[in-house]
Amino acid sequence: MDHPFHVHINPFEVISRNGQPEPNRAWKDTVLVPAGERVRVRIPFRDFAGKTVYHCHILDHEDLGMMGNLIINS
* Helix/strand/coil for 9: coil
First-to-final CA distance of the chain = 36
Identify which of 63, 72, 60 has the alpha carbon closest to the alpha carbon of residue 12. Answer: 72
Among 9, 31, 41, 58, binds Cu ion (CB under 5 A): 58
Looking at the Cβ atoms of 19 and 65, the one nearer to Cu ion is 65
Q: Does 3 bind Cu ion (CB under 5 A)?
A: yes
- 7 vs 56, which CB is nearer to Cu ion? 56
> Is residue 39 part of the contact set for Cu ion (CB under 5 A)?
no
Measured distance CA(2)–CA(32) in Å, rounded: 7
Residues that bind Cu ion (CB under 5 A): 3, 56, 58, 61
